Structure 1
Amino acid sequence: MSHKPNLHLRDRARKAIKDEPMRKAVQKAVDRLSGNREKAQTELPNWDDWREQGKRIRKHTVDHLDYYLGQLSESVRNKGGHIHFAQTAEEARRVIIDICKKNNGKLVAKSKSMVTEEIHLNPALEKEGMEVIETDLAEYILQLAGETPSHIIVPAIHKNRYQIAELFSKVAGKTIEPDTPALTAFARQTLRQKFMQADIGITGCNFAIADTGAISLVTNEGNARLTASLPKVLISVMGMERVLPTFDDLEVILSLLPRHATGQKLTSYISVVNAPRKVNEKDGAEEFHLVIVDNGRSRLLADEEFRQALHCTRCGACFNVCPVYRQIGGHAYGSVYGGPIGAVITPFLEDDFDFWGELSYATTLCAACSSVCSVKIPLHDLLIKIRRKRIELGFTHPLERVGFNMWRRFFKFPGRYKFAMKMASIGQIPLVKDGYIRSGPPPLSGWTDSRYLPAAAKKTFREIWQEKYE
């Protein structure tokens, strides 16, 4: 899925911390999004009941995923569409490339899709000689910058308007002013022609409806609707968990998703694609393909502890409240999926708990992510379980194993515990100043580089208790 970064997580985080424009842009944006979500929460009666219902719907669907995927496949085929199951990213790319070649595709218009980012579709299409244009404004900005999304809802959250204007000016060959009307006018003028000329349209899929075979697309710009309507061939790419039983279930999820994502009651455009257009219909693709991607999701599905991560609606609320994401942005995670949810699912999607399991340490375990999840996924619990799984698999530093083995040996027996506490109290004396350890040697420096460590008390609680009451 993701290409492994050259830098360690700790080094990527240090680099991000020094990127002041990025940090300001991210913090400003997530503050606004979180504030909008809190306001929307007060406007919807029985907010927690809605979340509970969303949780029930997603749990039921994922627990019976084989049935609903079968029903979805049958529904799409009955309406004249084509279904493709891809077990890996490579297989998904191959399927999509073959469809494009079969239809002599030269220009591909894409709407926002995290799954296509996950399978690295754009470079594969370009390698085959096709022109690929991202039609979502944020994705278009990142395409020009040669970057990946840093947020699942607001992909270019780390960019400010001056950086965007600089990118657009290079493409335009003239100065584009760094204000919203000028920037959107340029993007609109540039992208509109691409919609008209595209041979192939590629979209993601917010949720597919099993009993009708319909595909729902949720956007604020209308680009997904144009991508699905104008080209002759439409390819929708979805993770295999992105399915719901009925439209009644979609109503509940769409009452939660935009409110948690951007604080809107509804997004500006909710489009529903019902396979190829019929003879008497004026618009829509003549040929429709739905590519359903596994790419590691079966590993999550098979693990009863972590299966609930597949309930995710991709609202991005956990990003917006995470104190770690707020400081380092999305790129520091190194994965297509950052934030708390990315730290949970990436090790499974990549089947690599050694490297990607370290993302579980990019969290304070404050549980803010769990408290705002639209379908009540206990993300902080899952992050702790990822850490435990890494330890069980032996993916910890040798010094850490030695340290905790010593801790176990000393703290298992009261006498050894008392002796260890006494030695620590004496050993800290050279490092203590005004009641705090302000700097220390490794590994203590990992803490004291950014905060003070309270010094151990001269007397333990047990000693004080004995003096006073015994």
Structure 2
Amino acid sequence: MAHADEAAIFNKDEAKVDWHDKALWFVRQKRDKSAHNVQGWEELRNLASALKANVLSNLDTYLLQFEENAKKNGVTVHWAANAEEHNKIVHSILVKHGVKRMVKSKSMLTEECHLNPYLEANNIEVIDTDLGERIVQLAKEPPSHIVLPAIHKKKEEVDVLFQEHLGTKPCDGDPQYLTGEARKHLRDKFLKAEAAITGVNFAIADTGGFVVCTNEGNADMGVHLAKVHIACMGMEKLIPQEKHLGVFLRLLGRSATGQPITTYSSHFNKPAPGKEMHIVIVDNGRTEQLSREDFRASLHCIRCGACMNTCPIYRRSGGHSYKSTIPGPIGSILSPGLDLKKHSSLPFASTLCGSCSDVCPVKINIHEQLYKWRQIIVKEVPQPGVKKNILKIAGRVLANSAMYHVAGKSARFMLKYAPRFVIYSKLNAWGKARDLPEVKNGNFDDWYKNRKKNE
């Protein structure tokens, strides 16, 4: 289904939609307060954008530099052209070590590659250890947000879910109790895990190390207890030097949740004695996106989720309505690049208000790229006949001043004198939740002509 149809399903529960909207806007407000407390915030954004542009312009050089330094550190580096190769590489490492139980910290790349179902189909238990990720895993759902994966679920829903899967007592959604029970449940999984997978927030070309940012410490717990650490990394995650981390770490936490910095910024450089560390560097459409001049800057993204928290469409349609790993405005740019036909409705799921671009910490021109995708889609993807005919009629009316005048006059007459049930029929989607403006005598054209006469 198109995004609008998926969103209509989410919108059936109006109370939950309002709650979802307010919850995300609260996070956006926290972001604003935190950003305004940083002197030189805009300079930080400019610097981060420039650093990312530099990386993308020299990506081949930085990737080889990172690989060379990582190998010097004793890390095994793998290259995957697509999701299938990524999954096979990870599986082969686990098979080599006889792993049957593993823990995974939050990683949108592994979600993108559908790693969990692949490993489960090969009889390997995969436990997501981020609390939000664990919630949606138990619910057999994908994340609805890249930073707040279970933001679509109220605490009362989590209460019922935990009763079913973890055997907890009914607690009326008490967050402290639920978190404590989740901690007990996950601690056992950590202790029994034979391998750990993490994502990569930032990979440092000049050291071969990488950084994982979490608020729960689950990445550290998994990695330090397991004998094998596999880090899955999108090839755009590189930054040139370790000193540049300060720029991105100051931007990431504030943009994501309003925090000055994530609670844990874990640095991994080499495996501990007697253990193994692997890095899987994944393309999966990134070089193709890099080749698209109009959309190249989308690879600047540091996955903070700020564009989602501010987007009026995302807030009121929910992440699952996008049917893509990365939802919201940035996902509506990335997803059509992977499958234009499947995700052709996503660039239209936007008001083009530009708020997403305003809050982006790396200054991606998101709303402009959405508009460019629209121009491509209407040429390459067949559009509904109703939409095409309506736009043709609208084009003719707008191109002819006489027709435009008649149409405007007719619309004003109908709004003023037609019965309410006619105006607010099923054809008027706008009128479902709001009244149309009151129509007064005359119009701007008549007013302007009269004004000219009286001068």
- Fold equivalence (TM over 0.5): yes
1:36 and 2:33 aligned: no
C-alpha displacement of 1:449: 3.6
Q: Deviations over 1:373-397 (max 9, x none)?
A: 1111111111111111112324422
1:420 and 2:373 aligned: no
Q: Which moved more, 1:23-32 or 1:455-464?
A: 455-464
Q: Partner of 1:282 in structure 2?
A: none
Q: Partner of 2:139 in structure 1?
A: 145
User: For residues 163 and 397 of structure 2, what CA distance do their matches in structure 1 show?
Assistant: 65
Q: Evaluate the alpha carbon distance shift between residue 380 and residue 434 of structure 1 in structure 2; reply closer, same or farther with a 3 A threshold.
A: farther
Q: Partner of 2:260 in structure 1?
A: 265
User: For residues 256 and 136 of structure 1, what CA distance do their matches in structure 2 show?
Assistant: 21
Q: Partner of 1:110 in structure 2?
A: 104
| Aligned residues of 1:436 and 1:455 also touching (Cα < 8 A) | no
C-alpha displacement of 1:188: 1.2
| Aligned residues of 1:436 and 1:452 also touching (Cα < 8 A) | no
Q: Partner of 1:310 in structure 2?
A: 299
C-alpha displacement of 1:447: 3.3
> Unaligned 5+ residue runs, structure 2?
none
- Which of 211, 215, 223 is 2:218 aligned to? 223
User: For residues 419 and 268 of structure 2, what CA distance do their matches in structure 1 show?
Assistant: 62
Q: Evaluate the alpha carbon distance shift between residue 141 and residue 409 of structure 1 in structure 2; reply closer, same or farther with a 3 A threshold.
A: closer
Q: Evaluate the alpha carbon distance shift between residue 39 and residue 459 of structure 1 in structure 2; reply closer, same or farther with a 3 A threshold.
A: closer
Q: Partner of 2:205 in structure 1?
A: 210
Query: Amino acid of the residue matched to residue 12 of structure 1?
Result: E
User: For residues 111 and 14 of structure 2, what CA distance do their matches in structure 1 show?
Assistant: 26
User: For residues 439 and 343 of structure 1, what CA distance do their matches in structure 2 show?
Assistant: 36
Q: Partner of 2:316 in structure 1?
A: 327
C-alpha displacement of 1:172: 3.2
1:357 and 2:340 aligned: no
Q: Which moved more, 1:453-462 or 1:193-202?
A: 453-462
1:59 and 2:88 aligned: no
Q: Partner of 1:445 in structure 2?
A: 428
User: For residues 101 and 320 of structure 1, what CA distance do their matches in structure 2 show?
Assistant: 40
- Which of 162, 166, 169 is 1:172 aligned to? 166
Q: Deviations over 1:44-70 (max 9, x none)?
A: 111111111111111111221111111
Identity percentage of aligned residues = 39
> Unaligned 5+ residue runs, structure 1?
1-6, 280-285
Q: Partner of 2:334 in structure 1?
A: 345
C-alpha displacement of 1:451: 3.9
C-alpha displacement of 1:398: 3.0
User: For residues 456 and 418 of structure 1, what CA distance do their matches in structure 2 show?
Assistant: 21
C-alpha displacement of 1:19: 2.6
User: For residues 438 and 288 of structure 2, what CA distance do their matches in structure 1 show?
Assistant: 45
Q: Evaluate the alpha carbon distance shift between residue 450 and residue 256 of structure 1 in structure 2; reply closer, same or farther with a 3 A threshold.
A: same
| Aligned residues of 1:89 and 1:119 also touching (Cα < 8 A) | yes
C-alpha displacement of 1:364: 1.4
- Which of 356, 366, 378 is 2:365 aligned to? 378
- Which of 398, 408, 428 is 2:385 aligned to? 398
Equivalent positions of 1:127-142 (< 5 A) are 127-142=121-136
1:188 and 2:183 aligned: yes
User: For residues 330 and 161 of structure 2, what CA distance do their matches in structure 1 show?
Assistant: 30
User: For residues 14 and 251 of structure 2, what CA distance do their matches in structure 1 show?
Assistant: 33
| SS of alignment partner, residue 238 of structure 1 | strand
- Which of 416, 425, 438 is 1:433 aligned to? 416
User: For residues 250 and 434 of structure 1, what CA distance do their matches in structure 2 show?
Assistant: 64
User: For residues 186 and 16 of structure 1, what CA distance do their matches in structure 2 show?
Assistant: 29
Q: Which moved more, 1:449-458 or 1:298-307?
A: 449-458
1:388 and 2:375 aligned: yes
Query: Amino acid of the residue matched to residue 414 of structure 2?
Result: L
User: For residues 23 and 436 of structure 2, what CA distance do their matches in structure 1 show?
Assistant: 32
**Structure 1 runs, 4 residues or longer, greater than 6 Å off:** 434-438, 455-458
Query: Amino acid of the residue matched to residue 432 of structure 1?
Result: L
C-alpha displacement of 1:467: 5.0
User: For residues 162 and 424 of structure 2, what CA distance do their matches in structure 1 show?
Assistant: 48
Q: Evaluate the alpha carbon distance shift between residue 270 and residue 174 of structure 1 in structure 2; reply closer, same or farther with a 3 A threshold.
A: closer
User: For residues 63 and 209 of structure 2, what CA distance do their matches in structure 1 show?
Assistant: 13
| Aligned residues of 1:37 and 1:263 also touching (Cα < 8 A) | yes
Query: Amino acid of the residue matched to residue 54 of structure 2?
Result: H
Query: Amino acid of the residue matched to residue 79 of structure 2?
Result: F
C-alpha displacement of 1:230: 1.5
Q: Partner of 1:3 in structure 2?
A: none
User: For residues 441 and 28 of structure 1, what CA distance do their matches in structure 2 show?
Assistant: 28
| Aligned residues of 2:344 and 2:381 also touching (Cα < 8 A) | no
- Which of 56, 67, 72 is 1:78 aligned to? 72
Aligned residue pairs total: 452
Q: Deviations over 1:321-366 (max 9, x none)?
A: 1111111221111111111111111111x232x3312111211111
Q: Deviations over 1:309-328 (max 9, x none)?
A: 11011111111111111112
- Which of 40, 46, 57 is 2:40 aligned to? 46
C-alpha displacement of 1:464: 4.8
User: For residues 189 and 144 of structure 1, what CA distance do their matches in structure 2 show?
Assistant: 16
